[in-house]
Structure 1
């Protein structure tokens, strides 16, 4: 069994703004860093651990600084502050992260962080691919759009207290005494539990679909349409073909899919094909190449297939195959340095 590394990977004391900007560009996302106040030096202390698509850190920004991102970061972040204030500019909104208030956000939407003097927090980051993959599992369907997640929650509330407790537990798993090591498998499950808790309890643009009540029984023509799609999943088909085999009109079929599946017939077909590819790539018994798997599920244009697969799951087909292979043989994800966020 592999264990998570137990050594900090980031510490900067009294760096200038250019050094901090270079550090962010190298480890997180291109950004311009400026000190707050009249000083030119920035003092940051941080202990930071990475485990595959997840990372966790805790530290203190003694002098304060402003971080303006020039490119989006493909990660979601949970901040659990214990001192001072951080302001997050998201479009026209400005969110405050203060002690007693947890904050979760899609960093792709962050424009600027203003970190005030003596700011301290635990931070947890989830790669976009991990969050998209977790949401697709909860929905039992590919996630084809951006996840609009940016919310605050009081840590004395039921939801906030659970998130804070889970964050503290994760931190203890990484930053405890050297003899009390915790396996990568255990910490991965804890990170996944945090993602599920965030997605199920905090508001975002997929919340309604997650909490949508069970639909009434599907009409017979819709069942026939889906059965035809499944039976001929690799064959080219149009909406007219599907409607004809289901014994209904194109308009009636489109209405049924919109009412009961919240999508169009062809989008539903594509979702089934994408899920089929992903499950096959994650199957230990699979011996086919990515192109062969894609063709077996009805994709004929490899470039277009790779693009829609990445949009659906936040990772390329080869990344899915690689990540599953590494997990399947029990190899822990490698660690990589990262910056205080």
Structure 2
């Protein structure tokens, strides 16, 4: 992150595990360029002046009455005007992904594309603003509130954001979810996601989920139409494909495969081809060519 010019800032900041909250006032104004992505989501609740954030070709403007929420990994430039004041709330990416996974009852393997503004006099905006003020009072008031209570409030803010602010998983969230989804199945999937690269057996997964092997197999067959290990393998394959599809990926195919829990390269290549109709090297080459094409296009544009 690069900050330009002389700045004058007042700031009070508090952290609680994967969450943080602050109240800031930037008297001088400043511009910030993000050279490295930040693994956090942020909610800005302004009370004075303006702030702009460039996200790709889109520029978001936050002024009093307009809150802003976004995935900081997508931020390119932030411009803070003189005498800008706001409450900011940050949620680590791991916490937001875990919350979305719980809402979906499924693993979240891709990025959450979430950058938007919302009016604080709208139903959602007013609730978020009230929740932000309540959280700030919990930390900055005379009587501090317990960590358990504030954690629940941060989680409530994440749920409100994920359910109310449009993003690339919104359509899936709107689909009716089965109320009969057993808790042990949710715990099994959470354990798989958290230990995706580690070898694991059905017995181990069942033990961590607090159920029997037979009950776990029945739950996966009923709700996911597959076996526990097939479900795990599909998650790993989709993870490999996403990584290989990233033109910025610098890892070898073997390194990517191992990072997602595959240790036998010959067997991995065969099941990858069966799943996607192409070899891992074909996936990598296809997207490296696309990335080179985009880079060439940008280079040509900049020379004009």
Pairwise same-fold verdict (TM > 0.5): yes
Residue 152 of structure 1 and its aligned partner are, at CA, apart by 1.1
- Note if contact 1:54-1:191 (Cα within 8 Å) is conserved in structure 2: yes
For the 8 Å contact 1:86–1:116, the answer to whether it is kept is: yes
Structure 1 unaligned runs (5+)?
Answer: 1-38
Compute the displacement of 1:277 (Å): 18
Q: Is the 8 A contact 2:30 2:79 kept in 1?
A: yes
Please provide the CA RMSD for this pair. 14.0
Q: CA deviation at 1:173?
A: 0.3
Partner Cα distance (1:134, 1:123) in 2: 20
Change (3 A) 1:284 1:148: closer
Give the deviation of 1:268 after TM superposition.
Answer: 3.7
Cα displacement (A) at 1:165: 0.3
Shift of 1:213: 3.0
**CA-CA distance at 1:52 after TM superposition:** 1.1
Q: For 2:237 and 2:32, how far apart are their aligned partners in 1?
A: 38
Gaps of 5+ in 2: none
Greater percentage in helix: 2
**Farther-moved stretch of structure 1 (271-280 vs 69-78):** 271-280
Secondary structure in structure 2 of the residue aligned to 1:103: strand
Superimposed CA distance per residue, residues 267-307 of structure 1 (whole angstroms, 9 cap, x where no aligned partner): 74447899999999999999999999999999767999999
| Preserved contact between residue 76 and residue 107 of structure 1 (Cα < 8 Å) | yes
- The alignment of Structure 1 onto Structure 2 pairs a total of residues equal to 301
* Structure 1 residues 296 and 333: CA distance shift in structure 2, 3 A: same
Seen in structure 2, the aligned counterparts of structure 1 residues 323 and 117 have a Cα distance that, compared at 3 Å, is farther
User: 8 Å contact 1:129–1:313 — kept in the other structure?
Assistant: no
Shift of 1:266: 8.6
The alignment's TM-score, normalised by the length of structure 1, stands at 0.56
Q: CA deviation at 1:233?
A: 14
Contact conserved, 1:78 with 1:125, CA < 8 A, in 2?
A: yes
Structure 1 residues 252, 166: closer, same or farther in 2, change over 3 A? closer
**2:107–2:189 contact (8 Å) kept in structure 1:** no
Contact 1:43 1:61 in 2 (8 A): yes
Give 1:204 shift: 0.5
Q: Distance in 2 between matches of 1:66 and 1:248?
A: 53
Distance 1:213 1:313, change over 3 A: farther
Q: 1:57, 1:223 → 2: CA distance?
A: 34
Asked if structure 2 preserves the Cα contact closer than 8 Å seen for 1:129 and 1:315, the reply is no
Tell me which moved more, 97-106 or 40-49: 40-49
Distance 1:117 1:340 in 2: 34
In 2, the alpha carbon distance for the partners of 1:63 and 1:338 equals 34
Q: Distance in 2 between matches of 1:214 and 1:293?
A: 33
Asked if structure 2 preserves the Cα contact closer than 8 Å seen for 1:103 and 1:153, the reply is yes
With over 3 angstroms needed to count, the CA separation of the structure-2 counterparts of 1:337 and 1:252, relative to structure 1, is farther
Are 1:89 and 1:95, in contact at CA under 8 Å, matched by a contact in 2? yes
**Pair 327,71 (structure 1): closer, same or farther in 2 beyond 3 Å:** closer
Q: In structure 2, what is the Cα distance between the partners aligned to 1:154 and 1:272?
A: 38
Greater relative contact order, per chain length (Cα 8 Å cut-off, separation 6+): 1
